[in-house]
Structures are given as structure tokens and as C-alpha cells.
Structure 1
Amino acid sequence: MYLLEKTFQVMLSPVAMHFQEWLQSLRSHAGLQGSESDDLWSLLPSRPLPSFSLPSLSLSTSSLLGFGALASLTAYWMVTRPRPLRSPCDLQAQSVAVGGDPSCRRSALLTDDTLLEFYYDDVRTAYDLFQRGLKITGHGPCLGFRKPGQPYEWISYCEVAQQAQWMGCGLMAKGCQPNPEQYIGIFAQNRPEWIISEIACYTYSMALVPLYDTLGMEAMVHILNLVEMRVVICDQEQKAALLLESKEKGLTPKISSLVLITDFSQAFAERAKKCEVEVLKLEQLMALGRENPRDPVPPQPQDLAVVCFTSGTTGKPKGAMITHGNIASNTSSVIKILEGSFVFHKEDVSISYLPLAHMFERMIQFSLFSQGSRVGFYQGDISLLMDDMKTLKPTFFPVVPRILNRIYDKIMGSLSSPFWRALLQYAVRRKQAELSSGIVRNNSLWDKLVFKKIQASFGGNLRFALTASAPISSTVLSFLRASLGCMIFEGYGQTECTGGCTFSMPGDASTGHVGPPLPCAMVKVVDIPDMNYYAKNGEGEICIRGPSVFKGYLKDPENTAEALKSDGWLHTGDVGQWLPNGTLRIIDRKKHIFKLCQGEYVAPEKIENIYARSVPVLQVFVHGDSLQSYAVGIVVPDREVFVDWAKERGFVGSHEELCQNPDVKNAVLEDLRAVGKEAGLKSYEQVKDLYLHPEMFSIANGLLTPTLKSRRADIRRVFQEQLSSMYKTIY
């Protein structure tokens, strides 16, 4: 052994010596000193090698070994160096004008104006999407869940398919019919049984109707009667009791069966029996299905899959009718965009915590199911989400901007010294430089030194994230793309177009837009004269047409005619702008504009998006009155940074005390005006007064919808006194 070691030392010493001479020569000719270039590879990818003469070396065996080692190292670097992501199209021309009209555009991935309906010839329904994953994965994991402090447990694709079939047979044994006019309600949090119930409906061509807590009882009664609901699946007795109460009061006479996922009390069963409602456990329904087997009755693309009731910010919820063809075309478009640059594998896993009652989360899941990937559910408590992620280690993260903003604020608020802040900012710039070249990775030097803890808090395996539902700050998006070391896409859409109509391209690291149209959608902008938006300038109301656009609102021809015109164009109410690279930017909202007494139109959501850039601001609501000449606002300061921000300006106190301090309010108002002026807001768009509120707007307090949009009417009602008070001051 000793002789062997000495032999290696003799052989490698000349290699090391000549390699050091070569490196020193490289340093001197490159003009670098000391540790400035300790890493040879930092020179190679960033600049061409300078011309210089190598030290004079004899062609001895040791020299040859040295050059051989250098050649090997160079070859290794060539093989392992990071490569840019391949974009599926020219990033400077991501969409194409339709018929020569630049205001109407379609995806550059299409060869002509024929929109994409199906990616796989044999996958044309939501049922087919799951069946494809079943064929790929079989007995492999599909749906995961966990108990507190425990690892995830998994239900296989085969088990999901079998349980769904038993459940569907059980529903038919209870009198349900295998056709798209048979509505099955589900009132539950995200959990495996939610998806099993959905697959059960699709296995026998039934239509699913999701319900959720924040609808309120009045809205739920409206939905139950509109669809003449007979059967509702609930996750717990408390929710079933709400439905039973409506039955007892004679408000929902059609309800005849409640299926409970968890245990229920005997008292509840007896109460239900008195008003002729049958209550049974999910296991009992499946057992009934096993005893009465039926062959699947798969749906057709034109069949109704789900009636998705929009939460709405005003009025009664509207039931968007989504077909199987709508779902197939939308998922097919996402797969089409990602082909060649990102491929889902059986090992990929997503975390499910965004409400399944809305299309965004469900479209993500069906895209994953079609590839045989997995979905793990959070424990049901959003405060435990990060713990669930550390345990699940997801590769895919669906998210909304509000959550990303909180993550960003938390990271920035944790920096304890100027040194760490400067180091982080430098590392972000280095990673962003790579992103601008199309390189996406999490194994760089900066990832190991700076971003490792951030990535570990998400489980350490993220490859892909998607944000939607609202605009996201360019600063936040760029920072998280760099620090998480994964692709983060931004999309735009609404329930009525089955979740999405635009999607940012792989390899595009730019921000401030929501990408080009999906291959299943044509998107155009139309004039809004009152708001001074004109299609000839590439601005206007966003309209969508294609196979992902819904059939209309259930039993609501008036609202259907308003949203979906006879020529097939869906009018979204959002205002967009085409950018030179063919992507769409969301710039305004049509429906929420108000008119000041001097005749000026104001779009509050546009102002709110700008004011949200202010450091102390977490949430903001802008209000106007047609009898007044100015706008006012409600601001919820960011608890993570507000106290320190105020302290830097000489104000001391708790979060609540600072919100009550008029001088602090004026400081925040001054900051908002500065941010607004920098963004180009006109003087009449700037708020003249504001009220600082210490508690967040949330779903729980009824001020946010389940998709985290402001319930504008409810916010006005809750803060009516403060809004009226601000208008008593004359400016």
C-alpha cells in the first residue's frame, strides 16, 4: 500500500506543479490577482481565454500527464457546465397576429390559426387524463396525505381508480343517473377523498358541483336549489349540519343524502332522519358500490364536467359550466408549451393547498395526473404549510402572489446585518444574470452559500412553480426565480376559460407580463373609450375565444349573454396591453372603475397594484365616490416590517399603536404618493387620505375571496365609518 501511495505521489506531483504554473500564467495574462481567480472555472464560461504563451515545458512524461489532466478537467467542465433552457419559440415573437390584426393574437407554437384541442389523440376528457396516468404509473403513488408529525402516506393510481368506481356505483345504487345532468355536490377541504369523488363522477359521466365555506349560507342555498342538488359529499359533520339546517328550514327541499368522509354522531343521524335526509359514511357508499358493480360510462368531450361557481365580489355566485373538452384543451396547452424544456415524471409531486373548488388548482392536478405524477395534500392548516412542504419535498409548487409576497417579506425581514443584505443582493444579481441567459439551476456556488436554506424551507426539490390569480411584483418574481433556483411561470385567466388563457414561456426570465396566449386560445383587446384604451394602441379589454372557453352560466342567460358574445368571444372585464415581444400585460380592471365628481375615471385596482410596492404596505384598498373629487384608501401595514420602518423615521410603538398614530399615517401616505408619482399616477388617481388598519384582509374575516381577491363591497361595508370620516376633511 505504501509503495502504491508513493507511486501516485510521484506521478501526480508534476501534474500539480505544471497545472499551478499554467494557472499562474493564466492569472497574470488575465490581469487577475490573488484569490480573485482561485476558481479556474469562473474564468472559462464568462470570457474568452486571452492569448498568451505557455511556460516553456519539456515534453516529459510528467508534462504530458499535466496536460492530460488539464484536458480531462476541461472536458469535464464542458460536459457538466450549465446549459441554457431551450425555449420553444423566439422570445422576441411569442405570439402571432391573427388575420393581420395586431390586436388579436395566438400562440407562436401553432403552425396556423387552428387552436389546440387535444395533445394526445386518445385523451379528450378529464376522465381520459386520469386514465393516462393510471396506465403510466399503475400501482405507483397518486394521492398523499399525512397526520401531524408523520410522513406522507400514499394511495396508488389503481386504488384511486378502484375506489372511484365503487363510489360511482354506490351513487347509482342510491338513484343517481350516469349522465352530465346528474349533479353531485362536494363540500370539503383539499384531501384525497375530494379527488376520488371527482374521478367517481367522471367515471360515470356525472357533473361535479364544488361548495366552499366562504360562499355563505345564502349563496349556498341559491346553488343547491339552482342545480336541484340531491346528494352532497362533506368532509365533516359541521359542514353537513349547515346543509341539514337549510333543509330543516325548508330552504333546500331537494337534498336527500349526505355522505360524510369522517365520523358523525348518532344525534346528527337522528336529526337528519327527522327531515328525511339519509346520512352515510363514504365507506358505506363504497361498500354499496362493491355490491352493485357497473361498467364505467365515460363522458364525451362536449359533456359537462363541473359547474364551478365563481365566488364573485358582488351579487349571487354564477355557475360556470366547464366541459370535459374545456379541461382537455387547457391541460393540453400547458403540456404543449413545456414539451422539450420541462417534462413531468412519475416522481414529480405537487403540494395541494389552494382551494380545489376553483379551476386553477384542479387544472394543475389534472396536468400532473395525465403524466402519472403525484399530489400530496397539506394538513388543512395553512400555518403548517411550510412544515408540510419540508416533509413532502414537492417538485412543483402552485402559488398565488400574496403568498410569494409574504415569503419575500419574510426573507428580507430576516436579514440581520447590512453585510448579509449586500451578500444576498449580490448573489441574486449573479443568479439573475444566469437566468437572463436561460440558465435555471440550484447547484451554483451562490445556491450552496446563500440560497440553500431558502430552498430547503420549500423541501429542497422544487423544479417548477406557477403563480396566477393576480399580478405579482417584478421585484418579488425576479428575486424568487433567482433564490429558489427553479422555473417560476406566471399565468393569467379566469374560471370562464377553464383557468388559464396565457402562460409565460420557458426560458423567458423577463417580468411585467403574463406571457403569450396558450395554444388553445385566441386573445384580443377591444376598445374601452371611457377609459381611453384603444385596440389600435394595443390596449383594451381582454377577450378570449377557443376550445377552453366555457359553455355559459348555468340557467343564467342574462349573465351568459353579457360575458359570452354570440361570436364566441369571452369578455373578461380585465384590461390588457400587448408588448412588443408578443406577451400580454395586465394593466387595469374594467368593472371596478369609478367616476369622480369632476368627470375623471379612476381604476382602483391599478392604483392598488402600484401602492403595493410601498415597503410598509401589505394590503391596500382604494375607494372613490362620484360625489367627491378625490380617492381615499384603507392600508394594512406589513407586520413584518412596519415597526422597523416606522422606527427608522423616529416613530416608536407596537404595530397597533403605530396604526393609530396620525403622524405615522401621514408618513405612509407620503410614501404612497412617492411610489404613485414614480409609477406615473395622475394627481386625481392619488389618494388624499387613508386609514391604517392593523388586521389583514382575509378569507376568514370575509374581506377576501377564496382566490384571494378583495371583496370590494364587503370592504366598503366594514369600513364605511372610516371612509365617510375621510371625506369630511376638505382638501
Structure 2
Amino acid sequence: MRLQYELHPAVLWPFRLIICLASLITSLPRLLIGAPRKSHVYALSLSEKPQGPYRSTARPDDLTTGEFPGVATLDSYFEHGVHLNENAPCLGTRELLSEEDEPQSNGKIFKKMILGEYHWMTFAEVNKRATLLGRGLAALGQLPRQPVAVFCETRAEWMIAAQACFKHNFPLVTLYATLGAEAVAHGLREAEVAIVITCSDIMMKKLKDMVVEIPNLHHVIIVDTPSAPNLTLPAGVMVYSMSEIEEMGNLPKNQSIETQRPMPEDLAVIMYTSGSTGLPKGVMLTHSNLIASMGGQCAVIPNLGPKDTYVGYLPLAHVLELGAELSCLSHGCCIGYSSPLTLSDQSSKIKKGSKGDVTVLKPTLMAAVPEILDRISKAVMNKVSRMGTVQRTIFKLAYNYKLEQLQQGHDTPLCNRLVFEKVRVVLGGKVRLMLSGGAPLSPQTQRFMNICMCCPVGQGYGLTETCGAGTITDVLDLSTGRVGAPLTCCELLLRNWEDGGYRVTDHPHPRGEILVGGPNVAMGYFKDPTRTITDFLMGKAVSEAAAGKRWFCTGDIGEIQSDGCLKVIDRKKDLVKLQAGEYVALAKVETALKNCPLVDNICAYASSDQSYVIGLVVPNHARLQRLADKRDLNASWEEICHHPAMEAEVLKEIVSVGNKMRLERFEIPQKVMLTSQSWTPETGLVTDAFKLKRIELKSFYQSDIERLYGC
């Protein structure tokens, strides 16, 4: 995606001359050193058949089962980091200085925060607190191999509770803080937990009223209060603060409690997925599963170590964030905690003029979901659009020049220093590597982040059932639209999906349903043997070449390219057949149309008894407001979104972008609805990884869908 210029070509020549001189100066060392890097093959098939299995060329003989010799469980994984960096900062939390109510134009009141510096616990302090908490849980009667639930937002205490469970062989049950009451009650009942670790907000808003529905629950531990709140709960349910349980673990009579350390095959986590449909299902992850997964993921992060700082803000109940944080701690990296609402200076809970978390923390490593990266890129372009003509021109020239250089495999140090260093400060200015996962990242957003953030933005592909591991793009692979080669801990296999017309014999590249196999593949679904048998297969049930491994059937459709990298092209559940017989891949349409500047989020919807696709759109507030101002439309935000002229303008842009992205005519929405409501996990319309909940969206916007289809 090249940025368009506004000035006359003749006026651009002085700027182009400067760029050419810079190009000549920076290319001299490359010419002297030698030829550019040759093309690389990242994975090869282990059989002569096109379906694979495909294995990374970085480890062709066997699969990674761990990273550190003799370190086979998560408790010893963390202790490795403690020995590496014992007295260094480990977990950091910003001090809340004040909160202020800020009235909005629509009459609503938003709470804005002013935050101070990060306060840090050292590795030794975190290790001690985890040990005491684990002993305290044992003093309450918790036994090894009995689950403990953590139902809390991402914060330092979440990780301390997790380490306490790993040390004492208490399987950790994870639940998203934004799950609905029915889903939470289902998970806690199914896992038969006696202890829930939570925070005061969630306790008061959600857990308090559902305690009666969880018969095995006896103890609730609040992480963010110095003493237990005075609550009226059913008889037999006790409430404690986390500090009280740690004090209990420090009592002389409890210091002698014998700790039963876990074995590699022991259950470490029962991770309840947020689920885009139905009740969440618990995925059983063993210590060896997670250790193998993290070994594969860390192998693609160059020089991971104590000099790195990671910003933790995604849900720790998501396997992407949990794996990333555990990996960082094992290598002695520190983690500063944040949230999507306080991440940057422009985040919704940060008071104007005060600093967001990344500005203070200055992280070097960051994980993200595409929704977050889309927001960042659009926020930067909104700033660019408000610059003067000369500044905009310089930015666009630098952007297009760097795009050309990256496509040739070269960087642009001068442009980075003079232009993009000012953009990088949006994320603190020191990020050296970003990983995107959870959903497809559009090529335009990936390229934009590569250029403006001056660091590799890798795409990863994995699922909860594979401990988040599957593939990750190489840091030197600057291609877009792909998710990389298999990690060294797993293999990929394709199988035909006849209904969708995808076959492993397709040319020029084999295509089919993606199966992931290896030591990182989960043991199955908790108390759900029927679904486990359907989705998890042993090797011989797949093919002779796949024997000896457990495989997970992902439901995603992939294409293995000539260099061994995977491209995810479709999903079984997202395929809809229109009235005239055309198949529409909804996720593919959404990924393409998110490149529209007027679109923040979109759900493509199609009904099999209709002949066209429609779009449910969350518009970009700033751009749509400017469009309304140009039309002299003086109205509230809700009225602007519902105005037919605004729907027509957004549809026009969507059609234009759809054509540029080479969507088929029948794939491009013919009608759209604009919603004034953002889709966040709190609304229940997207998961905590910001994946669309299609059933909930359909139900919520049923009347709009009927209007667009003329029902």
C-alpha cells in the first residue's frame, strides 16, 4: 500500500532528490559488503506427498520438547529465570495517582486516570510470594492435582497466583474476566473448584451472585484488598484477601507443609476458551505441552534475555499472553502490566495530557491482536492527516521510500531517525519485536507497522489446543499475508476439504484443512470425551507419515507455499453459500475491508437464502465525524451513524477498497449498517481476543439485518 501525494509532481522533486541522495549514501555499505540475502526455505515435507507433514528446516531431525536442559515443568521454568536475574525487576504495576470524572458530549461520564511510575517486585520477591501463597492454599485444604481457578483481569497478582499453583501442582483453571455469568458458572462447576482467586470488582459485579450456583466453592481470595471485604455469602463460603493467605503460608505450622512438585505429564492449566459460539470448553494443557510450545516460540525471538521489557496487557486467560509472559520470565525479562484502556497516551482511560503505560515503560517486546494494531495504524494516519501539507508530503515520501527498500530486503536508517522515530514513541520508542496473533492481520496493517515502528511485526498462528504454537514468521521475512513456517515444536499437515473445494493436490500449492501435531498439542477437552475424539487424532488415524504424534484438527484452511510457509485462506465455519451458489469466506472479506480508513471493525454477514453480502460496521469516529462536518450534518454520533447519506459514503469506500483488494463482486457487501457502539469484550459481541461472536452479533443486530435484506 503506497500513500498518495497531494502536491504537484514538480514540487516533489526537491524532496525526491534528498531521498535519492540518502539512498545512495546508505546503499554504499551494502554494495561493499556483498549481495543481499538469498531466498530461504523455511520448512520441508517429511513425505513425498503434498499434504506433508511439514517440519521446520531449523530442526529437521526431531521436535523441540523444551528449551533448557533438565527444565521440564513450569515451576522450574520460572526458577530458571529467578536464578538468572534474582534481584532484578520482575513484575511492575503503575501507581494510581487519581481518577477524575469527565463528562462527554452525549451526557455520559467517563472515568479518566492519572498514573504515576511503575513499582517493581524483584524475581526473588515474586518467587517468595508465590511460595507463601501456595502454602497458604494448601493450609486451606487444597490438595495436589485439584484445580484452583483464577478469575481476574491481567495484573501482577494473576501471575503470582499462577506460579503458586505451578509450584504446588494445583492445576490452574483460567476464565476470561469478561465472560458472562452463565459461562463462568459453567467453567467453575465443571472443574469442581473449591478456591477462586479474583479481584474486588469482579467479585462484586459477577461472582457474588453466582456463588450459590457453584456447589464445590468454599474459598474466595481477593487479590486487590489488604483485608477481606465484608460480604454476605452462602454458608460455608469464606472470603480472604491474598495477603491474608500469604501470611497463613508464612506461619511456622504451615512452613513445614510438604510441596508435591509437578511431573511433566501433570495437568498445568485447564484453559476455558472465550468461545465465539456456545459455552466455553476447557482445554487440558500439561506442563510438557506448554514447555514444548514455549521452546518453539522462543527459538524465533533473537537475543531474548534480561535486557528486555515486555508489556503485559492482553488477557492472561488467553494462551498467547500466558505463553508470552511465562517465556519472558524464564529468560529473566521483566513485565510491566497495562490494559487496552491505559496502554498509550491516547487510550480511553488516560486523562488528556498525562502519560499512557508504554510511554513510561518503554517496552522492547509486545504481543498484540490485529484489532489493537489496526487501531494504532489508524490513529497514526489520523495524526498524519492533520499535519500541514509539507509535513504530510515528507511523511509519505519517507513511507513509500522505505516500502520500496523493505521489498528489496533493505532498511532505511536515515528515514527511521528523522521521520519514524517520532511515530515509534506511540509505543514507547524502544519496541524491537512485535508478535500478532489471535486473528488474521491485514497485509496493509502489517506493512504499516513494519515501516512506522521500525521493527519486525511477526504473525503467529496457533490455537489454545496447541498451546498457542503453530507457526510464526521469521524476523527477516518481510512478506505479508502469511503466518510463517512450523515452529520447531510441531508439524503441519493438510487434509482435503471437499465441501469447500480445497485439496492437497491443488496447484500451484497444496491446500486443505490444517492439522497441527507434536508435543505442544493439548490432551483434549476437559470432561468432554466426545469432542476430544472428534478434534484430536492420533497419527495413524491421519496418515502413516503422521504416526506417533497427537494431532489437532483446526477447522482452518491453509495453503503451504513453495518455501514451506503457511497461508491461512479460509475457515470451515465462516464459509457461506449464497442463493446463486457462490461461496463467501466471511473472515477473508472482513480482513480485506478492515483496510478501509472509514472502518474500525466489520462483521460480514450472508444468508444462504439471499443473493448478496451485507456489512455490520463500526466506523472510525474521527474520519466519519469529519465527513459529516463536510456535509454540514450537525447531529449526535448515533444520528450520524444511522443517517442514510453516511451509510452510502461508507459503502462507497468499502466497495472501492474491496475492488483494490481483489475481492470478487459477490464478496463485497452491497449494503451496510453503521453502529455507534464499539465492539469490546465487555459488550459480549467479541471475544477477549477480539474475535467476532457471530451468533451474538446476528442476534443483537437482527432488526438491522432484516432491514438491509428488505425483510
Q: Secondary structure at the match of 1:150?
A: strand
Deviation at 1:45, TM superposition (A): 4.2
Q: Are the aligned partners of 1:84 and 1:437 in contact in 2 as well (CA < 8 Å)? A: no
In structure 2, distance between residues paired with 1:477 and 1:84: 26
Greater shift after overlay, 661-670 or 147-156?
A: 661-670
Indicate conservation of the 8 Å contact 2:16/2:397, yes or no. Answer: no
Do residues 513 (structure 1) and 479 (structure 2) align? no
1:565 partner SS: strand
* Structure 2 Cα separation of the partners of residues 390 and 264 of structure 1: 29
Offset at residue 47 of structure 1 (A): 4.8
State the match for 1:6 in structure 2. Answer: none
Q: Take 1:98 and 1:365, find their aligned partners in 2: how far apart are those partners?
A: 33
Letter in 2 for 1:667: E
The more displaced of 217-226 and 682-691 is: 682-691
Q: Does 1:277 align with 2:249?
A: no
Question: Is 1:555 the counterpart of 2:519 in the alignment?
Answer: no
Displacement of 1:641 in angstroms is 1.7
AA aligned to 1:278 is M
Match of 1:476 in 2: 445
The 5 A counterparts of 1:99-498 are: 99-148=47-96, 149-178=115-144, 180=145, 182-236=146-200, 238-239=202-203, 242-248=206-212, 251-263=213-225, 269=230, 271-272=232-233, 274-291=234-251, 292-293=254-255, 294-338=257-301, 342-378=302-338, 381-382=341-342, 383=347, 384=349, 387-415=356-384, 416-436=387-407, 438=409, 444-498=413-467
TM-score using structure 1 length: 0.84
Task: State the distance in 1 between where 2:644 and 2:54 align.
Answer: 51
Tell me which amino acid in the other structure corresponds to 2:364.
T
SS of the equivalent of 2:60 reads coil
Correspondence for 1:600: 582
Q: CA deviation at 1:643?
A: 3.3
| Structure 1 pair 347–110 and aligned structure 2 pair: CA distance change class (3 A) | closer
Closer, same or farther: CA 253–582 of 1 in aligned 2, 3 Å? same
Structure 1 distance, partners of 2:607, 2:30, is 66
Contact (CA 8 Å) 2:53, 2:493: kept in 1 or not? Answer: yes
Distance 1:728 1:201 in 2: 55
**Aligned residues: percent identity?**
30
Match of 2:687 in 1: 705
CA distance in 1, matches of 2:664, 2:223: 55
CA RMSD of aligned residues (A): 2.9
Amino acid at match of 1:136: L
> Following superposition of structure 1 onto structure 2, how do residues 570-585 of structure 1 map, counting pairs within 5 Å?
570-585=552-567
Amino acid at match of 2:122: S
> What's the counterpart of residue 543 of structure 1?
515
Matches of 1:192 and 1:616, distance apart in 2:
37
Contact 1:314/1:713 (8 A) holds in 2: yes
Q: CA deviation at 1:152?
A: 0.9
Q: Equivalents in 1 of 2:554, 2:14: separation in Å?
A: 59
**Mapping for residues 663-702 of structure 1, pairs under 5 Å:** 663-702=645-684
**Mapped partners of 1:125, 1:638: distance in 2:** 45
How far apart are the structure 2 equivalents of 1:156 and 1:509? 37
Q: Trace 1:78-117 onto structure 2 (pairs within 5 A).
A: 91-117=39-65
Residue 711 of structure 1 and its aligned partner are, at CA, apart by: 0.9
Aligned residue runs from structure 1 range 562-641, under 5 A: 562-567=534-539, 568-641=550-623
How far apart, CA to CA, are the structure 2 residues paired with 1:710 and 1:308? 20
Contact 2:41 2:57 in 1 (8 A): no
1:563/1:570 contact within 8 Å kept:
yes
Q: 1:276 deviation in Å?
A: 1.5
Give 2:699's aligned residue: 717
Aligned AA for 2:283?
Answer: A
Alignment size in residue pairs: 653
CA distance 1:528–1:286, change in 2 (3 Å): same
Structure 1 residue matching 2:297: 3-state secondary structure: helix
Distance 2:48 2:621 in 1: 51
| Partner AA of 2:209 in structure 1 | E
- Alpha-carbon distance in structure 2 between the residues aligned to 1:643 and 1:520: 48
Say whether the 8 Å CA contact 2:613–2:668 is kept in structure 1: yes
Q: What amino acid does structure 2 have at the position aligned with 1:376?
A: G
Amino acid across the alignment from 1:712? R
Mapped contact 1:353–1:377 kept (Cα < 8 A): yes
Q: How far apart, in 2, do the equivalents of 1:504 and 1:283 lie?
A: 42
Q: CA deviation at 1:259?
A: 0.9
Q: Find the counterpart in structure 1 of residue 108 from structure 2.
A: none
Aligned counterparts, 1:40-79, within 5 A? 43-47=24-28
Instruction: Give the match's secondary structure for 1:122.
Output: coil
- Residue range with higher mean Cα deviation, 382-391 or 128-137: 382-391
- Report how far residue 44 of structure 1 moved: 4.7
Q: Does the 8 A contact of 1:515 with 1:584 survive in 2?
A: yes
Relative to the length of structure 2, the TM-score reads 0.86
Structure 2 gaps of 5+ residues are: 1-12, 97-114, 540-549
Aligned to 2:99: none
Return the letter of the residue paired with 1:694: S
Equivalent residues of 1:436, 1:509 under 8 A apart? yes
- Deviation of 1:97 after TM superposition, in Å, equals 1.1
- The alpha-carbon deviation at position 407 of structure 1 amounts to 1.1
Residues 677, 37 of structure 1: alpha-carbon distance in 2 compared, 3 angstrom cutoff: closer
Cα 1:199–1:222, aligned 2, differ >3 Å: closer, same or farther? same
CA distance in 2, matches of 1:34, 1:716: 50
Say whether the 8 Å CA contact 1:187–1:211 is kept in structure 2. Answer: yes
For the Cα contact (< 8 Å) 1:165–1:296, is it kept in 2? no
Check the 8 A contact 1:115/1:546 in 2, yes or no: yes
| Aligned residue type for 1:101 | K
Deviations 1:150-192, CA, capped at 9 Å, x for gaps: 21111111111111111111111111112x3x10011111111
SS at the partner of 1:334? helix
The code of the aligned residue for 2:567 comes to R
Give deviations 1:170-219, integer Å, cap 9, x for gaps. 111111112x3x10011111111111100000101111012233221111
Q: Specify the SS of the correspondent of 2:248.
A: helix
Q: Is the 8 A contact 1:106 1:518 kept in 2?
A: no
